[in-house]
């Protein structure tokens, strides 16, 4: 892994080169998948998320440099490039919600049911929980239509139905930045460069550059001058202690609204089912806690985590030789973080936890914000529901039979009128 070199411009040129290389790889893959004759007419949009929002906060100039390098690359591709931009946290939340509800068919069905109000089994939309490396989003339709906080409120009109949606994006609460914030807090009480960390397995050790740790807007406020350039992290594998440290990241002391999640952010009462994707899924799937038919109850998720965190690193490493070491070493932290975020951060209870479904794909499509972004930019979701719905097969057959009967009746009538005037006299009409 490249050693990050801090916020200096030269330090970021490596990041620009890396971004450029991964983009090249994506483009090559897209050229294989999309038939050549459709390359020119295939629109390409690029949306950058929280990693770039953070970079932009830290150094706007460098963030723009990265974007323009990416733009140049896309412009020279055979596709119809439509533009690259950094999307806001609110957009990221909204597009994730649109994606999963589009794929689950929630919009169309509720729109259609508007015309059949007597049907009681109206399918509601599903809330979206997205966990990235740098930010996390929660988006759902609350029971109360009127929101206490306008900045968390979005209005959509899709397929003829209006939706008042709550959304919030917590910058710095993606799993990678959350780990940094935890380490920096732990460091505040450290007297030496050695830190015992319950969120890593016993026997696991890692060196973290102090400069890198503070080189993020998420940790910059905690910056202090330390006598050591490196932090030597030593795992002690203890779920309970890890959870206690993680929970310090959620400030629940003040709330200017009737209800908050954490850090004074408004959160209406949780409502309905939720789909949890991206890192929520990657981590819970690894831990076997994401079974789609019956997701593990909160209590068993906690016991799984207790057991997993307490396993020695040597054993974990031997059991999963195919898993990237960076991910494997952090599953104890990440799983504990997910439970704390959902339980302490958002207030999911033993009961409401059961309403969460961890989703990697819906059908063959990835659950995530990207499809929603594309659907929006290509105007593929109409605001109004077409009143003329295509007929079902049974409706079509019925209509054909009816028109045939009308036709036969009309012919009979014509025959009576013009050829057999007696019919009329006998009152056949």
Ligand X SMILES: O=P(O)(O)OP(=O)(O)OP(=O)(O)OC[C@H]1O[C@@H](n2cnc3c(O)ncnc32)[C@H](O)[C@@H]1O
Catalytic residues: 92
44-74 residues labelled b (16+ CB within 10 A) or e (exposed): bbbbbbbbbbbbbebbeebbebbbebbeebb
322 annotated ligand binder: no
Binding mask 234-273 for ligand X (x = CB under 6 A): ----------------------------------------
Contacts 24+ apart (CB under 8 A), 160-166: 160/111, 160/114, 160/383, 160/384, 160/385, 161/107, 161/110, 161/111, 161/114, 161/385, 163/125, 165/94, 165/97, 165/139, 165/140, 165/141, 166/138, 166/139, 166/140, 166/141, 166/142, 166/267, 166/268
344 annotated ligand binder: no
**Tokens found for residue 329:** 């070493």
Tokens 């981590």 sit at which residue?
A: 283
Residue nearest to ligand X (CB): 132
Compare residues 139 and 352 and give the one whose CB is closer to ligand X. Answer: 139
Transcribe 318-359 into DSSP letters: HH-TTS-HHHHHHHHHHHHHHHHIIIIIT---HHHHTTEEE-
156 strand-pairing partners = 163
Binding mask 370-399 for ligand X (x = CB under 6 A): ------------------------------
Compare residues 128 and 279 and give the one whose CB is closer to ligand X. Answer: 279
Check residue 278 for interaction with ligand X (CB under 6 A): yes
Binding mask 315-354 for ligand X (x = CB under 6 A): ------------x---------------------------
Check residue 176 for interaction with ligand X (CB under 6 A): yes
CA distance 385 to 396: 21
133 annotated ligand binder: yes
Compare residues 174 and 198 and give the one whose CB is closer to ligand X. Answer: 174
Compare residues 352 and 357 and give the one whose CB is closer to ligand X. Answer: 357
Judged by CB under 6 A, the chain residues 15 through 54 that form the site for ligand X are 49-51
CB of residue 289 to ligand X, shortest distance in Å: 13
What DSSP character marks residue 271? -
Judged by CB under 6 A, the chain residues 102 through 141 that form the site for ligand X are 132-135
Check residue 282 for interaction with ligand X (CB under 6 A): yes
With contact defined as beta carbons under 8 Å apart, do 270 and 343 qualify? Answer: no
CB of residue 290 to ligand X, shortest distance in Å: 12
Binding residues for ligand X, how many (CB under 6 A)?
17
Contacts with ligand X, residue ranges (CB under 6 A)? 49-51, 92, 132-135, 174-176, 278-279, 282-283, 286, 327
Binding-site residues for ATP? 133-137
């Amino acid at each position: 892994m490249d050693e990050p070199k801090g916020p200096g411009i030269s330090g970021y040129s490596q990041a620009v080169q890396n971004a450029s290389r991964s983009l090249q790889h994506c483009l090559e893959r897209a050229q294989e998948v999309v038939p050549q004759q459709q390359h020119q007419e295939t629109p390409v949009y690029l949306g950058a998320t929280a990693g770039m929002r953070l970079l932009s906060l830290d150094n706007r100039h460098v963030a723009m440099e990265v974007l323009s390098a990416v733009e140049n690359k896309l412009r020279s591709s055979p596709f119809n490039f439509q533009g690259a931009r950094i999307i806001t946290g609110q957009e990221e939340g909204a597009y994730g919600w649109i994606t999963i509800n589009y794929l689950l068919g929630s919009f169309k069905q509720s729109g259609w049911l508007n015309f059949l109000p007597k049907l009681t089994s109206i399918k509601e939309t599903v809330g979206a929980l997205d966990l990235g490396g740098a930010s996390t989003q929660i988006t759902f339709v609350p029971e109360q239509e009127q929101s206490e906080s306008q900045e968390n409120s979005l209005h959509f009109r899709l397929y003829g139905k209006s939706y008042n949606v709550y959304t919030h994006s917590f910058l710095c609460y993606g799993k990678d930045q959350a780990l940094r914030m935890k380490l920096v807090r732990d460091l505040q009480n450290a007297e030496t460069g050695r830190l015992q960390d319950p969120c890593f397995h016993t026997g696991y050790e890692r060196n973290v550059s102090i400069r890198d740790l503070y080189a993020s807007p998420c940790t910059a406020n905690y910056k202090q001058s330390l006598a050591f350039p490196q932090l030597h992290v030593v795992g002690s594998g203890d779920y309970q202690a890890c959870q206690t440290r993680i929970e310090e990241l959620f400030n629940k002391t003040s709330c200017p609204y009737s209800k908050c999640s954490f850090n004074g952010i408004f959160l209406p009462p949780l409502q309905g089912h939720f789909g949890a994707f991206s890192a929520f899924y990657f981590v819970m799937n690894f831990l076997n806690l994401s079974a789609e038919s019956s997701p593990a109850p909160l209590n068993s998720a906690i016991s799984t985590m207790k057991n997993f965190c307490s396993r020695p690193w040597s054993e974990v490493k031997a059991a999963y030789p195919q898993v990237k070491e960076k991910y494997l070493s952090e599953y104890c932290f990440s799983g504990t973080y997910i439970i704390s975020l959902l339980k302490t951060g958002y207030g999911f209870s033993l009961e409401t936890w059961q309403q969460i479904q961890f989703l990697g794909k819906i059908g063959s499509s990835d659950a995530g914000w990207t499809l929603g972004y594309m659907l929006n930019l290509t105007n593929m979701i109409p605001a109004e529901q077409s009143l003329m719905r295509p007929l079902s097969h049974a409706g079509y057959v019925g209509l054909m039979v009816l028109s045939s009967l009308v036709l036969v009746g009309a012919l009979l009538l014509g025959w009576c009128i013009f050829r057999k005037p007696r019919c009329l006299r006998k009152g056949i009409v």
